[in-house]
């Protein structure tokens, strides 16, 4: 540290890392790619960490005209999945000297008021879930703010970069698992939300199941809550005709509501009906039997979203390819007890 200084400076970091102050500025400003090596960048970051150096972002932002603030728009703050998305995005943002503001779209979807007096001047970019897409018009200020959309149609996301989980493959994994067990009569408890991700799940599930002769699939919809899932499942299972032997739910919370309805009807999981979910929330192992579900890596999802926005801000093309998902088989699925 410079003699008499009360806090480390960029010169101290440069001396500790054995590089120029210009290199330190490039690395800590995330402008180093193509200018210094990965090894040098890591050495600078380590030196800054060891010294406890923090750049004077306020002064730098005044010079550059940026606030280094990113807005993350999600449907709700009470969902474990989006908490994971925030954690992952915030981790990457902090590593690159950005702050991340979390903003829920009221009621999960629909227009949201601008949380800033002028979003386009107070923000450097926006990351948003497709379920909160309608909230973006005021927040984004037309198309002036860089935008990355999560869980969104790559061909219809306001011209923005997209980051997606491979949710179509998740639906196929569920269908293949249940078909292999011998199920042929299916009930799909679908989330009653107008969102691309849920449309993909429904389409892939139906396509995979109906490709097998002798199968049937019926769809019933419910908002994502345990109470609504109980009501929708009860109504569906009380409908005259052969009962389904497998119930595919769009969400683990819907599956938990389905469990309650099934038991109130005097039926058993999985003896009378197999049940599956999506997300692999903590809830999935809290219910009995534990839930077969598709595991979505929410933190990695958030990380990739933030990395994509950093790429856009830096004039680079974001990483391509959907994030893999994994079916976790537990006790809620078994062969049907009747043909």
- For residue 9, the model assigns a pLDDT of 82
pLDDT of residue 289: 97
**Sheet with strand 99-104: strands edge to edge:** 99-104, 69-74, 125-129, 147-150, 161-163
Dihedral over alpha carbons 186, 192, 193, 195 (to 10 degrees): 20
The β-bridge relationship of strands 216-222 and 185-191 is parallel
Query: Is residue 3 over pLDDT 80?
Result: no
Domain containing residue 198: CATH number = 3.40.50.2300
* Residue ranges making up the domain that contains 92: 67-165+298-320
254 is a domain residue: yes
Percent of the chain with pLDDT over 90: 52
**Average pLDDT over the chain, rounded to an integer:** 85
What's the pLDDT tens digit per position in 141-187? Answer: 555 678 898 988 888 666 788 999 999 999 999 999 999 999 999 99
| Domain annotation covers residue 261 | yes
Binned at pLDDT 50, 70 and 90, residue 59 comes out as: very low
Count CB atoms within 10 A of the CB of residue 84. Answer: 19
46 plus 73 within the same structural domain:
no
Q: Say yes or no: 171 and 313 in one domain.
A: no
pLDDT digits (tens, 9 = 90+) for 256-279: 999 999 999 999 999 999 999 999
Phi, psi of 160 (to 5 degrees): -90, 165
Give yes or no: residues 245 and 147 share one domain. Answer: no
Check if the beta carbon of residue 129 is closer than 8 Å to that of residue 73.
yes
172 and 289 both lie in a single domain: yes
- Of 111-115, 147-151, 289-293, give the lowest mean pLDDT range: 111-115
Q: What are phi and psi of 306, to 5 degrees?
A: -70, -40
Mean predicted confidence (pLDDT) in 224-232 = 95
Q: Which two tokens stand for residue 63?
A: 């010079």
pLDDT(56) > 70 = no
Q: Residue 11: is its pLDDT beyond 90? A: no
Residue 283 domain-assigned (yes or no): yes
**Same domain (yes/no): 248, 261:** yes
Residue 62 lies in a domain: no
Q: What CATH number did the domain enclosing 34 receive?
A: 1.10.260
Instruction: Give, in degrees to the nearest 5, the angle at Cα 123 between 121 and 127.
Output: 140
| Residue 328 domain-assigned (yes or no) | no
Q: What is the DSSP letter of 9?
A: -
Q: Give the strands of the sheet with 326-328, arranged side by side.
A: 216-222, 185-191, 246-249, 274-279, 292-295, 326-328
Cα–Cα distance between 247 and 293 in angstroms, integer?
Answer: 12
The tokens 């490709």 sit on which residue? Answer: 211
């Amino acid at each position: 540290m410079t003699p008499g200084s009360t806090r480390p400076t960029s010169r101290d970091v440069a001396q500790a890392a054995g590089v120029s102050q210009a290199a330190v500025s490039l690395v800590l400003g995330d402008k180093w790619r193509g200018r210094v090596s990965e090894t040098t960048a890591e050495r600078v970051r380590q030196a800054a960490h060891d010294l406890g150096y923090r750049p004077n972002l306020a002064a730098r932002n005044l010079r550059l005209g940026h606030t280094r603030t990113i807005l993350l728009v999600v449907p709700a703050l009470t969902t474990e999945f989006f908490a994971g998305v925030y954690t992952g995005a915030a981790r990457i943002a902090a590593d690159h000297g950005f702050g991340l503001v979390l903003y829920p779209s009221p009621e999960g979807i629909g227009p949201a008021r601008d949380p800033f007096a002028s979003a386009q001047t107070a923000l450097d970019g926006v990351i948003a879930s497709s379920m909160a897409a309608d909230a973006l018009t005021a927040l984004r200020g037309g198309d002036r703010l860089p935008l990355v959309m999560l869980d969104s149609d790559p061909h219809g996301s306001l011209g923005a970069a997209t980051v997606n989980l491979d949710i179509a493959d998740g639906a196929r994994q569920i269908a293949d698992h249940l078909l292999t067990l011998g199920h042929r009569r299916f009930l799909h408890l679908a989330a009653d939300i107008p969102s691309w991700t849920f449309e993909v799940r429904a389409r892939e599930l139906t396509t995979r199941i109906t490709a097998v002769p002798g199968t049937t699939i019926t769809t019933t919809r419910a908002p994502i809550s345990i109470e609504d899932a109980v009501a929708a499942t009860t109504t569906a299972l009380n409908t005259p005709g052969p009962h389904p032997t497998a119930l595919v739910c769009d969400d683990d919370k819907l599956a938990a509501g389905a469990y309650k309805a099934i038991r109130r009807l005097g039926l058993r999981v999985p003896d009378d009906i197999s049940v599956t979910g999506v997300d692999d929330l903590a809830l999935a192992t809290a219910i009995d039997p534990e839930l077969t579900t598709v595991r979505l890596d929410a933190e990695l999802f958030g990380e990739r979203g933030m990395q994509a926005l950093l790429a856009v801000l830096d004039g680079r093309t974001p990483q391509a390819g959907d994030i893999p998902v994994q079916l976790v088989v537990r006790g809620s699925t078994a062969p049907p007890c009747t043909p």
